[in-house]
Amino acid sequence: MSESKSCRSPALHSLQDVMQDLHAVGAIDKATMRDLDVGCLTEVRDLAPEAIRHIREKANMT
pLDDT cut 90: percent of the chain above it: 39
pLDDT digits over 16-43, tens only? 889 999 999 999 999 998 888 887 876 7
Domain coordinates in residue numbering, the chain: 10-58
Q: Which pLDDT belongs to residue 25?
A: 96
52 — phi, psi (to 5°)? -65, -45
The pLDDT value recorded for residue 58 is 93
pTM for the whole structure: 0.54
pLDDT of 2 reads 43
Split at pLDDT 50, 70, 90, the class of 5 is low
Distances (CA, A) of 15 to 20, 24, 43: 9, 14, 18
C-alpha to C-alpha distance for 49 and 23, rounded to whole angstroms: 39
